[in-house]
């Protein structure tokens, strides 16, 4: 039976293999292939790197905060030397990545910003989307948007309110803009209602959003807030 | 004075097992500023690349911490790694960055980093 003898009266086009390829994906592939061709790194290096990146997530950072809540000495170390403190949760900023000299663009200078009852930190990168990947994994989509990056430095309280976080007037909101070689995580205040909790229990409520500073930990809340998903105005249609 | 030409692995070899910015430790000499100093951000010309945000230029803030030694990004971007300098974390009051920032929240602040040559004493 030929293609145009369908019994429902129209021709099927094969669905595209890839629905959309962004300019950035094309750019990445082009630069990667060029770098391999020029011998900057091999395809094997790239595979090893990609596999390493996929092992990263926010758990070590959550563990770091939980430990610090329970141990004042360790909390002091976090504040003074984030890189040293990271070792206690299995992250060595220098030797964990396959390069053995840190992560290009993440560098090796973690600063832990310690909140107090009168001080709330929140992290952004206005230049790009610098993020402490070795200890926090890949950044969420919204962290990389121009919208978040350009508004957070200028209207931090309004942006935090959009995340559902409203802070009293007497609390200083301090934005940290990671524009150079330091990467930041926020150590939020330990919430009420967690007396006697174990490190495991405490780590569970330190979500990625809390570590960026757009949320505060609450007993019972162990996942990031759902961001609203808006329908595309011009969605892609297939004619079949 | 001509600039040294490095092979592609120069940085990797320097930082291997040590890390970056740790590999520049001790190479910037004596820091010009200390914690608590009040500084102004210079509005220096930059060709092609800078990491000093426009919104901080001309603003005054306070040094909170000497963070590390490193070549300035403006130099490093072009392979000029031979003049590391001190980097400073500087805290600005939000109202010193944005004239329209709400008086109600006059304690709000923003902290970010600069290489030494962008700072001048106030």
pLDDT above 70 covers a percentage of chain B that reads: 99
pLDDT above 90 covers a percentage of chain A that reads: 80
Residues in chain B: 122
| Residue at token pair 């150590």 | A187
Q: How far apart are CA B49 and CA B51, in angstroms?
A: 7
Q: Of A70, A219, A174, nearest to B94 (Cα)?
A: A174
The answer on pLDDT for B52 being more than 60 is: yes
Nearest CA in chain A to B16: A101
Residue A156 CB neighbours (<10 A): 25
Phi, psi of B81 (to 5 degrees): -105, 10
Mean pLDDT of A59-77: 98
Residue A13: what pLDDT?
77
What does each C-alpha distance from A150 to A143, A146, A231, B109, B115 come to in angstroms?
A: 11, 6, 24, 16, 22
The answer on pLDDT for A216 being more than 70 is: yes
- Determine whether the interchain pair A177/B112 forms a contact, defined as Cβ–Cβ distance below 8 Å: yes
Measured in angstroms, the CA of A2 and the nearest CA of chain B are apart by 58
Top residue of A35, A38, A49, A109 to mutate, by most chain B CBs within 10 Å, is A109
Q: How far apart are CA B89 and CA A177, in angstroms?
A: 10
- pTM, full prediction: 0.89
Confidence of residue A240 (pLDDT cuts 50, 70, 90): low
Measured in angstroms, the CA of B87 and the nearest CA of chain A are apart by 9
Query: Catalytic site residues of A?
Result: 125, 128-130
Residue A19: what pLDDT?
74
Mean pLDDT of chain A: 92
Strand order in the sheet with B38-41: A119-124, A172-177, B109-115, B85-93, B60-70, B38-41, B119-121
Confidence of residue B107 (pLDDT cuts 50, 70, 90): very high
- Determine whether the interchain pair B8/A40 forms a contact, defined as Cβ–Cβ distance below 8 Å: yes
Residue A225: what pLDDT?
85
Residue A134: what pLDDT?
96
Q: Of A116, A106, A108, A107, nearest to A174 (Cα)?
A: A116
Residue A160: what pLDDT?
96
Confidence of residue B118 (pLDDT cuts 50, 70, 90): very high
Mean pLDDT of A180-184: 98
Measured in angstroms, the CA of A121 and the nearest CA of chain B are apart by 9
Residue A95: what pLDDT?
95
Measured in angstroms, the CA of A82 and the nearest CA of chain B are apart by 12
Nearest CA in chain B to A96: B17
Nearest CA in chain A to B90: A176
Nearest CA in chain A to B96: A154
| Residue at token pair 């931090």 | A156
The answer on pLDDT for A72 being more than 70 is: yes
Confidence of residue A49 (pLDDT cuts 50, 70, 90): very high
The answer on pLDDT for A143 being more than 80 is: yes
pLDDT digits (tens, 9 = 90+) for A78-95: 999 999 999 999 999 999
Residues of A in contact with B115 (CB under 8 A): 180
Q: Of B1, B16, B3, B114, nearest to B60 (Cα)?
A: B114
Confidence of residue A7 (pLDDT cuts 50, 70, 90): low
Residues of B in contact with A93 (CB under 8 A): 19
CB-based contact B109:B61 (threshold 8 Å): no
Residues of A in contact with B51 (CB under 8 A): 127, 179-180
């Amino acid at each position: 039976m030929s293609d145009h003898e369908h019994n429902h009266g129209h021709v099927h086009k094969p669905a595209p293999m890839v629905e959309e390829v962004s300019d950035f994906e094309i750019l990445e592939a082009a630069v990667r292939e060029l770098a391999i061709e020029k011998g900057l790194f091999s395809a094997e290096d790239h595979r090893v790197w990609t596999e390493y990146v996929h092992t990263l997530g926010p758990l070590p950072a959550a563990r770091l905060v939980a430990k610090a809540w329970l141990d004042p000495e360790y909390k002091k170390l976090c504040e003074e030397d984030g890189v040293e403190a990271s070792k206690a949760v299995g992250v060595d900023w220098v030797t964990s990545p396959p390069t053995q000299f840190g992560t290009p663009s993440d560098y090796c200078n973690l600063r832990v910003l310690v909140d107090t009852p009168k001080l709330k930190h929140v992290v952004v990168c206005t230049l790009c989307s610098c993020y402490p990947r070795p200890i926090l994994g890949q950044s969420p989509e919204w962290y990389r948007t121009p919208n978040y990056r350009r508004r957070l430095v200028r209207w931090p309280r309004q942006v935090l309110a959009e995340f559902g976080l409203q802070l009293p007037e007497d609390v200083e909101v301090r934005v940290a803009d990671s524009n150079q070689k330091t990467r930041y995580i926020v150590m939020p205040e330990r919430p009420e209602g967690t007396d006697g909790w174990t490190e495991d229990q405490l780590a569970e409520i330190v979500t990625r959003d809390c570590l960026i500073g757009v949320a505060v930990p609450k007993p019972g809340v162990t996942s990031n807030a759902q961001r609203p998903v808006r329908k595309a105005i011009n969605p892609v249609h297939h004619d079949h | 004075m001509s600039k040294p030409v490095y092979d592609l692995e120069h940085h990797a070899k320097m930082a291997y097992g040590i890390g970056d910015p740790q590999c520049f430790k001790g190479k910037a000499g004596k820091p010009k500023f200390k914690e608590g100093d009040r500084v102004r951000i210079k509005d220096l010309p930059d060709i092609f690349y800078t990491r000093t945000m426009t919104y901080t230029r001309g603003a005054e803030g306070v040094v909170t911490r000497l963070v590390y030694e490193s070549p300035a990004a403006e130099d490093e971007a072009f392979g000029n790694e031979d003049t590391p300098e001190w980097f400073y974390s500087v805290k600005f009051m939000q109202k010193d960055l944005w004239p329209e920032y709400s008086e109600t929240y006059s304690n709000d602040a923003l902290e970010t980093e600069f290489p030494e040559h962008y700072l001048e004493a106030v």
